[in-house]
Structure 1
Amino acid sequence: MDPLHRFGKQFIFIYLLIWFVGSLWMMALLGSGSVQGKLLGVDVNLYHEYVSFGFAGALGGALYGLRMFHEHYHDLTTQWVYWYLMRPILCFGSAIITIVLFESGILLLQVGDSMAARISVAFLTGYGYGKFMEKIRALTNTFFNGNANANGSSSGSGNNGGDQPKP
């Protein structure tokens, strides 16, 4: 019997469930303020909000993964195992970056400055990770393949996207 069908599906379900419940638990733990001091040389007090955003993104990614696992249980192949394993981790990081992009003013959205609003955006980033990556790709194209750079001159010609030096 194929190991994926014997143990793989149960492992993926338990893995996503641990990320889902663990993310909720870590957000509550960080929100309570009971985590203090340094962890691996990093001052937890300085970055606890960003870690909360990361876990909110992982929560969204795990929820989406659980939903897809339920909908496509019988269609699961080994190529999708990596997708399920990486989804919460990628969503963790992308949620933090989303909040940083909003705080920097690069991404514009009318969201309140409250912690609940930022956690909601982080969760939605995790849940809609594919759409987030499309938005980041479009934003990157706008920044680096645009028609004008900082001084208003042309950034390149043709399809080279400004990657080739001008003569």
Structure 2
Amino acid sequence: MFWKEQGMKLGVVLYLLVCFTGSLWLMGLIKSGMLVEIAGVRVADTETYLYCGLAGAVGGCLYAMRLFHDFYDKLMGRWVLWYLMRPIKCAGAAVMTVVLFESGIMLLQPTNSLEAKIGIAFLVGFGYGKVMDKLKALTETLFNGKNEPSPPGGGDETPRAK
């Protein structure tokens, strides 16, 4: 059991390090112009969103590595999936949050500079949990008209007589 637990911990830390350094490395490749196409899509057409996704992944990896360090002795198998999914979820959330800011749906208006968008994307990745709480509150406000949890079933049903 000891070796299985140690192997799991080693796998998590290696995965996070590969995601962290790989994201930074890919950002460098994009900036240098050496990466022209990914899976048939021209990088130039999606460059801003690639940068934002990679910056979100870097933020998510940093947060996960900090927690891994803090809770190293308490890591259980059920948390491994959290560590594996963190960079991916943070990358997606970072891209979509920047889109929401650019569209004006969310009120923060970043400057039009790429660095500002990358900075926001990093912060979204690092503070993913808090960002999701804000997005949930925004969604409730936009679509329910109030910032309260909706009743089971989404609140679309009429109350039934007992």
| TM-score when normalising by structure 1 | 0.85
| Residue 8 (structure 2) pairs with residue 8 (structure 1) | yes
Q: Is the 8 A contact 1:53 1:122 kept in 2?
A: yes
Amino acid at match of 1:50: Y
Q: Is the 8 A contact 2:101 2:110 kept in 1?
A: no
| Counterpart Cα distance in 2 of 1:57 and 1:23 | 9
Select 2:156's aligned residue among 137, 143, 163: 163
SS in 1 for 2:87: helix
Report how far residue 45 of structure 1 moved.
1.3
| Counterpart Cα distance in 1 of 2:80 and 2:25 | 25
Q: Structure 1: which 5+ runs fail to align?
A: 148-157
Q: Is the 8 A contact 1:63 1:127 kept in 2?
A: yes
Change over 3 Å in CA distance of 1:5–1:131 after alignment to 2: same
Report how far residue 6 of structure 1 moved.
2.9
1:68-95 per-residue CA deviation (whole Å, 9 max, x = no partner) reads 0000000111111010000000001101
| Counterpart Cα distance in 2 of 1:146 and 1:3 | 53
Partner of 1:114: 113
Report how far residue 4 of structure 1 moved.
4.2
Partner of 1:78: 77
Partner of 2:27: 27
| Counterpart Cα distance in 2 of 1:33 and 1:70 | 35
Q: Is the 8 A contact 2:98 2:117 kept in 1?
A: yes
* 15-24 or 106-115: bigger deviation: 106-115
Q: Identity of counterpart residues, as a percentage?
A: 50
Amino acid at match of 1:88: P
Partner of 2:129: 130
Q: Is the 8 A contact 2:60 2:87 kept in 1?
A: yes
| Counterpart Cα distance in 1 of 2:103 and 2:3 | 46
Report how far residue 164 of structure 1 moved.
4.1
Aligned length in residues = 154
Amino acid at match of 1:10: L
Q: Structure 2: which 5+ runs fail to align?
A: none
Q: Is the 8 A contact 1:144 1:162 kept in 2?
A: no
Q: Is the 8 A contact 1:56 1:122 kept in 2?
A: yes
Report how far residue 43 of structure 1 moved.
2.2
Q: Is the 8 A contact 2:102 2:109 kept in 1?
A: no
1:121-161 per-residue CA deviation (whole Å, 9 max, x = no partner) reads 000000000001101100110111016xxxxxxxxxx9586
| Counterpart Cα distance in 1 of 2:51 and 2:102 | 15
Matches within 5 A, 1:89-104: 89-104=88-103
